[in-house]
Amino acid sequence: MEPVKIGLLGLGTVGGGTVTVLTRNAREIERRAGRGIEMARAAAKAFDPTRIQGLEIIRQIGDDAFAVVNDPEIQVVIELIGGYSPARELVLTAIANGKHVVTANKALIARHGNEIFAAARERGVMVGFEAAVAGGIPIIKALREGLAANHIEWIAGIINGTGNFILTEMRDEGRDFAAVLAEAQALGYAEADPTFDVEGIDAAHKLTILGSLAFGIPLQFERCFTEGISGVGAMDVAYAADLGYRIKHLGIARRSSGGIELRVHPTLIPERRLIANVDGVMNAVLIKGDAVGPTLYYGAGAGALPTASAVVADLVDVVRTLTTDPNNRVPHLAFQPDELTDTPVLPMESVETAYYLRLSARDQPGVMASIASILGEQGISIEAIQQKEPAEGETHVHLVMLIHRVVEGRMNQAISRIEALDTVQGAVTRIRMEALSG
C-alpha cells in the first residue's frame, strides 16, 4: 500500500522532535499503523537544521504553510506552529480541503475547537490533539476511551511544567522566580509568551479541553477561572509546609450540584498525596471516576520528544482509521456531538472549596477575636489557626488560618471585612485548598 503523505507545519521544538521520532522509529510505527508514513512536505519560517535529526527525509521544505494545506497530495496536516492565528486559518483550510489534522495546539483547541470539530465532522475528517494536554501523557486517550465507562466526578492536574518547575525550585532551593523562569525558557518548556505559563492561561487552555472530555460540554475557555502563581510568596510555601501541605498550580474540573467547576489556581494539597510530590517540569493528572476510583497519570508535559510521542500516536490513529466510516470514529470531545449538554460552568463565587489565609495583624488583645467574629458571622468555620512570632521590634504578626469548605462568594465578603479592620495591615493572602481524597 502507498505510504500516507503528511505535511508538517512548524519545525520548532515539537516539529523537530516529530521528525526525529518519525525517522528513528519509522519501521515500528509502520508495523503499528499498517502503512508507511512519508514526510512529503514541511513549512517553517525559521528553524535550525543542525538541531533536527532526520530532516533529510522530508521531500520538500519551504516557508509557505498555506501551500502545504492546499497541496492535493497531502493527506494529513500536522500543525505545530502554535498560537491562535494563522493556526486556525491553516487548520480550517486543511479540513475544507478534506485533510485530516493532528495538532499540539492547546490554545487553538480551547478557543476554536467547537468550530474546528464542526468543520471536521462536516468534511468527515479527523482532528487529533493528544499533544495539546500534558505533552507525552496519553491523557486524552485515557479520558476519551479508557475511562469511557465512568461518570467522571473530578479532575485535578498539574498541567503546566514551567509553573511546576518554578514552584518546586522556590520550595527546594529558595530560588528567585525570575531566574527559574529564565531557565525554563532556555530548556524550551515555556510558552512564547511566558505569562501564559505564570498566569495560568496555558493550564486553562488544557483544563478547558479536559473538562469538555470529562463532562460532555462544549469547549468554554472564557468561563475557566484563572489565577497565576506570581502572587505565591516563599513565606506561604514555607507556612504550607509547616502545616503538612504543598502548594501546586492545579487545574481543577469538578461536577458539582449546580454545574461544572473549571478553575486554575495555586492550591494547597496534603503533602502525602502522590500528586503533591510531582516536581520540576513533570505533569500529572488525577481523575476520579465513579467506577474506577482515582487514577493518576504522570509524565513529561513538555519537551521535543515527549510531545512528539503524542503527536505521532495521533498520526498512527489517523492512519489506522483512514478508511473507516467517519460516523463510527471516536468523537472529538468523547461524547457524540449531539449529546453535548449545556450544563453551566459555575462562576467562581459559587464554587465551594477550603482556604489557607495569611494576614498581618497588630499584635494586641482582641484582634484575633474580631477576625474570628467576622468569620463566624459569615458562617465560616476555622479548621486551624497559627500566630507566628513577631520579628524583633515589629508591631504586627502573621496569622495563618485554614478554613473549612465554604462558598467563595461568602469567603470574599469575609476577606473584604477583615481587610477593612484598622488592626489588619495590607491585603489578606488567600490560597485555595483541596483534599483530593479518593
3-class SS of residue 7: strand
Smallest gap, in angstroms, from Cβ of residue 134 to ligand HSE? 8
Cβ neighbours of residue 366 closer than 8 Å, sequence gap 6 or more: none
Smallest gap, in angstroms, from Cβ of residue 386 to ligand HSE? 33
Smallest gap, in angstroms, from Cβ of residue 292 to ligand HSE? 26
Question: Cα 54 to the chain's mean position, in Å?
Answer: 30
For the chain, what is the largest distance between any 2 Cα atoms, rounded to a whole number of angstroms? Answer: 84
Smallest gap, in angstroms, from Cβ of residue 236 to ligand HSE? 22
Residue closer to ligand HSE by CB (options 169, 408) is: 169
Cβ neighbours of residue 9 closer than 8 Å, sequence gap 6 or more: 15, 42, 43, 44, 65, 68, 69, 77, 78, 79, 80, 81, 90
* Residue 99 annotated in active site: no
Residue closer to ligand HSE by CB (options 162, 267) is: 162
Q: Is the dihedral of CA 92, 93, 96, 101 positive or negative?
A: negative
| CA torsion, ordered 404, 201, 213, 325, to nearest 10 deg | 180
| CA torsion, ordered 252, 257, 260, 265, to nearest 10 deg | -30
Cβ neighbours of residue 101 closer than 8 Å, sequence gap 6 or more: 76, 77, 78, 79, 91, 94, 95, 116, 120, 125, 126, 127, 128
Residue closer to ligand HSE by CB (options 162, 429) is: 162
Smallest gap, in angstroms, from Cβ of residue 159 to ligand HSE? 7
Query: Could you tell me which of 327, 338, 299 has the C-alpha nearest to residue 130?
Result: 299
Residue closer to ligand HSE by CB (options 71, 202) is: 202
Smallest gap, in angstroms, from Cβ of residue 53 to ligand HSE? 21
The cell numbers describing 112, all together, are: 476554536
* Cα angle: 44, vertex 221, 84; to 5 degrees: 20
Residue closer to ligand HSE by CB (options 7, 135) is: 135
Residue closer to ligand HSE by CB (options 112, 358) is: 112
Query: Could you tell me which of 122, 132, 128, 60 has the C-alpha nearest to residue 97?
Result: 122
The cell numbers describing 412, all together, are: 470574599
- Say which of 5, 99, 106, 206 is annotated catalytic: 206
Interface residues toward ligand HSE, by CB under 6 A: 135, 160-162, 189-191, 197, 202, 301-302
Catalytic residues, which ones? 206
